[in-house]
Structure 1
Amino acid sequence: MKFHKVLVLAMSQKTDLREQVENKLTKTLQENGISANGSLAFFGKEMETLPKTMDDWLPYIQQLKQENFDSVLITKIVGQEGKDAKNAIVRYYNEFFGSFKEDIMKNKDLYSEDEGFKDYYVHRVASNLYCICEQNQEEDLIWKLNVDIKQAFDSDYLVKEGLRLFSKELIKELKEQDLFVTNK
């Protein structure tokens, strides 16, 4: 069975982070020919606070079915693990430098005790795809993806970069599974 239309739902208490995750994943799916909408974009302000019980979710699920959604992709940051400096990355390791001077100046303290190797965090990001296409049946888990992102989600740049890396892996895995009808 292939799916035709997916709702992207990010689970976070921070509405701005939810919106960033939903927008990035929705855009990535759409760029790959998959019909997708984010929950905040689709439901509007009423979805800023997530329903607490399954009974509270039922009207939303019914509305999705009426709008021909047949799946929901739930994505969440499920854990964080610290890493010590022995395995750490450096602050500017993966940036593009336009000049030799910029590279040298940004990394001049690379081997100093204060600025060199930094502790960093691995964020575990998980996505689960559920079928909501069968009438009067339990919403079933169809597919899942767990990815470790080796950077913090504490600045706009790092959130964007983490989402870019995650969405790249998400599309790669979805294409391998061939779960969606695409328009490409």
Structure 2
Amino acid sequence: MRIPRQLSFLNLTVLVLIIISCSSTKQVSNWRKPASEDVKLHKVLVLGMTNNVTIREHFEQQLTATLLKNGINAEGSLSFFKDDMKTIPQTMEAWLPYINQLEEQKFDSVLITKVIGETGKDSKSAIIRYYNEFFGSFKEDVTKNKELYSAEEGFKDYTVHRVASNLYCICEKNEEEDLIWKINIDIKQAFDSDYLVSEGLKLFTKEFIEDLKEEEIFVTE
């Protein structure tokens, strides 16, 4: 019996969509600080590591909304600090007044997220020069990436992007290693329009929140 042409096309379309949805995101790594099972965080500042304010605001709003929806007390850096944080501080000394404000408002963690051009350009490009290194502390992350905050690199030049998130605890003042958790997620998508940026963030936040919930790091409401 011959299958109707319309049905065959429909099945093919569904199959393609399933393949695309399954292959659009891939967890590259997931690391948790050893012996940190007893760490329970309560309030996190969400920081998108880019000086493109439009993309940063979009990202912070979307990830914050996802965290809140899952019972995690969160706020974006632009929402909390307003115009004072439009330019990201590039040294630890410049960060200290902001950290003091966070502690006063009961924040105990900072989530730094960066979008890395992974495939499609020279791997020696400045945009990925330091992003793939392991940072044990918030201070180290800030210091080594300070030259990259204002990099004018276009998303459209890459076909695969790595979204790297580092969760730092600001409640361990006497410990140098304050990185609690990190995750790297690859997104197979060229970010060459506002729509694709939006869709890429949706893919990331879905994968991100599923893995974060499994870690049970935050006290949820």
TM-score by length of 1: 0.76
Q: Residues 45-88 of structure 1, C-alpha deviation per residue, up to 9 Å, x if partnerless? A: 110001111100000011101100000000001223129xxxxx
Q: Give 1:137 shift.
A: 4.3
Cα pair 1:120 1:150 within 8 Å, conserved: no
Cα pair 2:172 2:178 within 8 Å, conserved: no
2:18 is matched with which residue? none
CA separation of 1:120/1:40 partners in 2, compared to 1, >3 Å: closer, same or farther? closer
1:55 is matched with which residue? 93
1:161 is matched with which residue? 199
Number of equivalent positions: 148
1:37 paired with 2:75, answer yes
SS state at 1:128 partner:
strand
Q: Give 1:135 shift.
A: 3.7
Query: RMSD over aligned Cα, in angstroms?
Result: 1.7
Structure 2 portions without partners, runs of 5+: 1-38, 122-156
Q: Residues 102-143 of structure 1, C-alpha deviation per residue, up to 9 Å, x if partnerless? A: xxxxxxxxxxxxxxxxx9700011000000012454461000
2:65 is matched with which residue? 27
Aligned residue type for 1:158: L
2:107 paired residue among 65, 69, 83: 69
1:93 is matched with which residue? none
1:9 is matched with which residue? 47
Q: Residues 20-54 of structure 1, C-alpha deviation per residue, up to 9 Å, x if partnerless? A: 11011000000000000000000001100011111
The within-5 A match list for 1:63-102 is 63-82=101-120
Cα pair 1:131 1:139 within 8 Å, conserved: no
1:121 is matched with which residue? 159
Aligned equivalents of 1:5, 1:120: Cα separation in 2: 34
2:220 is matched with which residue? 182
1:172 is matched with which residue? 210
Cα pair 2:117 2:158 within 8 Å, conserved: no
CA separation of 1:120/1:126 partners in 2, compared to 1, >3 Å: closer, same or farther? closer
2:181 paired residue among 126, 143, 158: 143
Aligned equivalents of 2:192, 2:101: Cα separation in 1: 34
Cα pair 1:8 1:38 within 8 Å, conserved: yes
Structure 1 portions without partners, runs of 5+: 84-118
Where has structure 1 moved over 6 Å in runs of 4 or more? none
Aligned equivalents of 2:190, 2:50: Cα separation in 1: 15
Q: Give 1:157 shift.
A: 1.1
The share of aligned pairs that are identical, in percent, is: 66
Q: Give 1:2 shift.
A: 1.0
